[in-house]
Amino acid sequence: MNKNRCFWCSNNPIYIKYHDNEWGKPVYDDALLFEMLLLESFQAGLSWFTILQKRENFREAFDQFNVQKIAQYNENKLHELQQNNEIIKNKLKIKAAVTNAQAFTKIQHEFGKFATYLWAFTNNQIINNTNITPQNYFVITPLSDQIAKDLKKRGFKFMGSTTVYAYLQAIGIVNDHAQNCFIREQ
């Protein structure tokens, strides 16, 4: 049976799997929140499809997205990552992954969990946007502006408002599934 999916979801199995099983589902687990944050920061300026194709390579290269380990990466590890042809080899993004891991762990220490910090921006509520179409589709909002500004103040890199909005969609704080998408109808 053919299912109606969001307009951005092509017939590619990688996109379909991501859309149907992950995108827009609320995430409260810090490990997955960090994984998605790291991936979104590498996506800046690239297609999400590129990141999804390389996701397992990122997982292997970045110690299963272990935030504690990544926060401790040294210059040798950074150099190793910059030579890895299986990931995005952008030197600034690789360095930002370490900086962001350090900032992420500081938030965990301050709030107990990164999820507590992040979900507090919406009072633990999911934002359900309506009438999502290719013509009526957000890429930034006042919420993403606010969170990006706070993340920047806390030392995060490559987490501007557009990246933060994509992150909020991915982790389910924002539900931007199209009205006719089978996921919204569940």
Please list the active-site residues: 18, 40, 48
Measured in degrees and rounded to the nearest 5, phi and psi for residue 57 equal: -65, -40
Measured in degrees and rounded to the nearest 5, phi and psi for residue 175 equal: -100, 105
Dist. CA 120–CA 55, nearest whole Å: 28
Which single residue is written with the structure tokens 């990552």?
Answer: 81
Strand partners, 175: 128
Dist. CA 144–CA 72, nearest whole Å: 28
